[in-house]
């Protein structure tokens, strides 16, 4: 083999290695983003169930999250593990999610209006 052929082979190997490394990086970014979106979807689903409980518990006198428990299918799934804390007056609930893939955690507050507020991302989920 001539010098030019060896140089061309080495250059090809370097280019392929760079392409593979970029591919792995793009996949990891996509995986983190996908897991973050799935966890947010799960938190929104939990918020809907919680709001339903809130509205039913206080017909005519204001609602409360007191007594709400996570449905068994939403305590843990392929996306993450979920827990809740409820304020002493029962008007505010905080949701916590931990990624099953080790990417980080998400916390959010469910107000008495039923929406997710104060969403905080930690770990690889941070923008």
Map tokens 């939403």 to a residue. Answer: 74
User: What is the gyration radius of the CA atoms in the chain, in angstroms?
Assistant: 23
Q: pLDDT digit string (tens) for 94-125?
A: 999 999 999 999 999 997 777 889 999 999 98
CA distances from 89 to 45, 98, 119 (A): 23, 26, 21
pTM more than 0.75: yes
Q: Is 45 exposed, middle or buried (0-12, 13-18, 19+ CB in 10 A)?
A: middle
Tally: H helices and E strands in the chain? 1, 4
Domain range spanning residue 111?
A: 3-125
User: Could you give the number of structural domains in the chain?
Assistant: 1
Structure tokens at 106: 């998400």
């Amino acid at each position: 083999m001539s010098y030019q052929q060896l140089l061309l082979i080495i250059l090809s190997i370097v280019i392929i290695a760079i392409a593979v490394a970029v591919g792995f990086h793009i996949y990891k970014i996509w995986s983190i983003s996908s897991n973050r979106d799935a966890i947010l979807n799960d938190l929104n689903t939990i918020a809907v169930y919680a709001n339903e409980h809130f509205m039913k518990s206080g017909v005519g006198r204001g609602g409360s999250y007191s007594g709400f428990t996570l449905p068994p299918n939403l305590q843990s799934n392929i996306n993450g593990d979920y827990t809740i804390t409820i304020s002493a007056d029962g008007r505010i609930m905080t949701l916590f999610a931990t990624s099953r893939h080790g990417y980080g955690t998400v916390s959010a507050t469910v107000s008495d209006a039923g929406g997710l507020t104060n969403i905080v991302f930690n770990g690889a989920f941070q923008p």
